[in-house]
Amino acid sequence: MIDKRKFPRLGEIWELNFRTITAEEFKKNPVSSFTMNISGGGICFEADKEIPTGTMLAFELKSTVFPSPIIALAKTIWCKKEKKKEQFEVGAEFWWTGWKDNDAQEAVSGYIVKEFLGWAKERRDIKSKKNK
């Protein structure tokens, strides 16, 4: 299968908190979860309840890679019930990310590209050693 995604996905687990962007929901405590994968363009994560397509979400993402939490605004693109689990898998597209500046999305995207380049080099090195 050919991956046609604009941004490559990195299967790292980052801690996250999120809230839906409605007047009544936003006032509640955030929901805690973990990423399933993340890219410069969006995020996939688990949720205990279904989140309708088009729902706006506010995220706070924590990773050991970055010194401070990343804040993001995203829109739910899809949501599906996980097999054999009571949770839902949710895909959301980033609309805005930052650390009170505009460089967060570029930093996340750059980190993911760097990780993929390192992974690709390792794969080439392994194949090269096998062919010798």
Question: What integer is the mean pLDDT of 104-123?
Answer: 75
What gap in Å lies between CA 87 and CA 23, rounded to an integer? 25
Establish if 3 belongs to a structural domain: no
The more confidently predicted of residues 129 and 91 is 91
Establish if 6 belongs to a structural domain: no
What gap in Å lies between CA 77 and CA 54, rounded to an integer? 6
| Digit-coded pLDDT (tens) for 20-36 | 766 566 566 678 888 88
Phi/psi at 43 (nearest 5 deg)? -145, 150
Question: What integer is the mean pLDDT of 111-118?
Answer: 78
Instruction: Please count the other Cβ atoms lying within 10 Å of the Cβ belonging to residue 121.
Output: 10
Establish if 63 belongs to a structural domain: yes
Confidence class of residue 89 from pLDDT cuts 50, 70 and 90? very high
* Strands 31-38, 56-62: pairing kind: unpaired
What gap in Å lies between CA 30 and CA 28, rounded to an integer? 6
pLDDT of residue 101: 53
Confidence class of residue 77 from pLDDT cuts 50, 70 and 90? very high
Q: For position 35, which CATH number holds? A: 2.40.10.220
pLDDT of residue 15: 75
Question: What is the signed CA dihedral for 10, 36, 2, 121, rounded to 10 degrees?
Answer: 20
Closest to 11 measured CA to CA, from 34, 47, 38, 48: 38
pLDDT of residue 91: 95
pTM across the whole model:
0.60
pLDDT of residue 29: 67
Tell me how many domains the chain contains: 1
**Token code pair at residue 5:** 């995604």
Tell me which residue range forms the domain holding 23. Answer: 15-130
pLDDT of residue 12: 73
**What is the residue-averaged pLDDT of the chain?**
78
Q: Which residues contact 122 (CB under 8 A, 6 or more apart)?
A: none
Establish if 43 belongs to a structural domain: yes
Establish if 9 belongs to a structural domain: no
Establish if 107 belongs to a structural domain: yes
| Digit-coded pLDDT (tens) for 41-57 | 889 999 999 999 998 88
Establish if 86 belongs to a structural domain: yes
What gap in Å lies between CA 115 and CA 2, rounded to an integer? 20
Establish if 5 belongs to a structural domain: no
